[in-house]
Amino acid sequence: MDQKHIENGGVFTGAMLCFIGLMLLPVAVGMIWSYPDKIWLLGLVSLLSSLVLLVSGVRGLRSSSKKLQTLTKELEAIKNDAITNAQKVDNPIDGQHSDSVVLASWNYTAEEWQKFMSWQVNERKWSHITTSIVLALLSILLLRFGRESSWGLALIIGGVFAICFGFLSYYLSISSVGRTRGKINQVYITANTVVLNDKMNPIADSNRWVGELKIIEEAEPKVLSITSYWKTRKGNSNEEIFVPIPKGKLGEGVMLMDKLRRLHPLQ
């Protein structure tokens, strides 16, 4: 998923926390001002809650803003390397690479990118539909038997929740690909990142590692699939990133797979 989307979400969350904290602050002060009425205790709790929200919001804003600046610098470094130093990475040495060193830089025609987008939409559509249906069923059953809601209310709430989740997850997955208007569609691939039209998708870092690498030959154009994994409390989670291979670049795609596998041996 595009890291900028994630950090922009962090900025939005931080701003909302600050807003709620500021809105709660005068209410808390008013309650405390009512001392010795007992409501002043509630005001004290509200004041502490307001301060916690403000501190958390400011920290979130600072953290996400710094990460956005770092991502912007990384993207510029990748682009600069693609322009000036792409020839230096024909034979990268295992373990000796820079995050900004470009392993592959590909451009696409509008027709190629449109075909890839159509394939991508169809590929991801059914997984999101299936997930939404499962969530809808679980939500309906939980509301009906766990909260003793009526079937009608459970159907409405569960259905709306599943539809919203499906559209949001679908939008986020597709937006990580990106599409340019009036410009050339471009992909840069480094040892740790796939950049699809300025959308930065990490494949390896301190918490991630590269798993399966394969070329999907049934797609048109052919697609390089890179699966990255990361640890969660419930086990390993993964994300599959698709990269279209331009016409006449299949050999480069195979070489790229070999480079990535040498840089990231299977764990």
Pair (48, 112) in one structural domain: no
**Cα separation, 34 vs 36, whole angstroms:** 6
pTM for the predicted model, two decimal places = 0.60
Tell me if 237 is assigned to some domain. Answer: yes
* Phi, psi of 242, deg, nearest 5: -105, 135
Question: DSSP 3-state assignment of 36?
Answer: coil
Residue pair 163/197 in contact (Cβ under 8 Å)? The answer is no
Pair (122, 79) in one structural domain: no
Tell me if 106 is assigned to some domain. Answer: yes
Choose the final residue of a domain: 58, 84, 110.
84
Pair (154, 250) in one structural domain: yes
Pair (78, 186) in one structural domain: no
Pair (69, 108) in one structural domain: no
Host domain of residue 258: 102-263
Pair (175, 254) in one structural domain: yes
- Does residue 216 surpass a pLDDT of 60? yes
pLDDT in tens, 219-259: 888 999 999 998 888 888 888 889 999 988 999 999 999 99
Question: Can you spell out the DSSP letters for 5-51?
Answer: HHHHHHHHHHHHHHHHHHHHHHHHHHHHHTTTSTHHHHHHHHHHHHH
H and E: helices and strands count for the chain:
5, 7
Distance of CA 156 to the CA centre of its chain: 29
How do the residues of the chain divide into helix, strand and coil, expressed in percent and rounded to 5?
Answer: 60, 20, 20
> By CB neighbour count within 10 A (0-12 exposed, 13-18 middle, 19+ buried), where does 227 fall?
middle
Tell me if 95 is assigned to some domain. Answer: no
pLDDT at 148: 74
Pair (66, 117) in one structural domain: no
Give the chain's domain count.
2
Lowest-pLDDT range of 29-33, 109-113, 122-126, 217-221: 122-126
pLDDT at 245: 93
Tell me if 131 is assigned to some domain. Answer: yes
* Phi, psi of 64, deg, nearest 5: -70, -35
Lowest-pLDDT range of 9-13, 79-83, 245-249, 251-255: 79-83
Tell me if 111 is assigned to some domain. Answer: yes
Pair (222, 113) in one structural domain: yes
Strand 235-244 relative to strand 223-232, pairing: antiparallel
H-run or E-run covering 76: helix 39-84
Distance of CA 215 to the CA centre of its chain: 23
